Structure 1
Amino acid sequence: MPTASVSDLPSDGLVLLDVREPDEWAAGHAPEALHIPLGDLPARIDELSELPDDRPVYVVCRTGGRSARAAAWLNQAGVVEAINVAGGMKSWHTEGRALVSEHEGAEPEVL
C-alpha cells in the first residue's frame, strides 16, 4: 500500500480525497479536499475521473484506516493512483496544516 506522511505531501498541486463521514467533514477539513465518504466511493467513482491524472490522489480519513481501504480499492480498480495519508486528519492538524469548518463561526476541529 503506497503511504505518505503529512510532512511528505507536496505543497503545490496536492490532490486530496477525504473519505470521512459528513459530520467529520463538516467539523473540519482541508480547504482544497474533495469529499466522498468511503461508503459512497463506488457510486461516485465518476467524480474521480475529473481529477488530474498526472499526479497521485492522496486519500485521507481521521487516522488512516478508512483511507488505507479506500486507496487499496482505488488502486485495485485502476481508477486513480492513490496514496494513503498516514495518521490522517489527526496528523494533518498536528502538523499545523490549514483546516476549515462548514459550521459558520465555529473553530475547525478533527472529529
Structure 2
Amino acid sequence: MFGSQVPSVPVTAIDDDTYLLDVREDDEWAAGHAPGAHHVPMMELPARLAEVPTDRDVAVICRSGGRSAQVVGYLLGNGWEQVRNADGGMRQWAAVGRPVVTGDGQPGQVI
C-alpha cells in the first residue's frame, strides 16, 4: 500500500483539528516542524501507537512524503480509518508558506 494507493491530503487542507503526526528523525524535528505537530519518529511508532488517536483525523508528515506514506499504510493495517499522508511533506508545507518552528518557537527550517 504505497504511492497513489495511500490516502492523502494537501498540506493546505490540514487544519488545527487534525492530529498532525511528524514521523521524521530527531534532528529533522529539531531543525523545524509544524506548530502543534506531534513527534513520533517512524521507527518508534510501533511502541508508541497508543499516542496516535483513533477517533479523529490524523495527517502523517515527513520531509517529502515517503516515510509518512509507509506509516499511513501501517496505521491503516492496524485499524486506523481516519489517517492520510500529507502530500509533499514538510518541504511542501514550507513551500506554501505554512509556519515552521523550532522547539523554542523560533523560525525553523526543513532539513
User: Is 1:8 the counterpart of 2:8 in the alignment?
Assistant: no
Number of aligned positions between the proteins = 106
Unaligned segments of structure 2, at least 5 residues: 1-5
What TM-score does the superposition give when structure 2 sets the normalisation length?
0.87
* 1:68 counterpart residue number: 69
Per-residue deviation, 1:107: 3.8
Cα distance in 1 for partners of 2:16, 2:59 equals 13
* Aligned-pair Cα RMSD in Å: 1.7
What TM-score does the superposition give when structure 1 sets the normalisation length?
0.87
Q: Percent same amino acid among aligned pairs?
A: 46
Per-residue deviation, 1:79: 3.7
Moved over 3 A (4+): 104-107
* 1:90 counterpart residue number: 91
Unaligned segments of structure 1, at least 5 residues: none
Cα distance in 2 for partners of 1:52, 1:74 equals 10
Per-residue deviation, 1:52: 6.4
Amino acid at match of 2:12: S
Q: Tell me the SS of whatever aligns to 2:21.
A: strand
User: Is 1:46 the counterpart of 2:50 in the alignment?
Assistant: yes
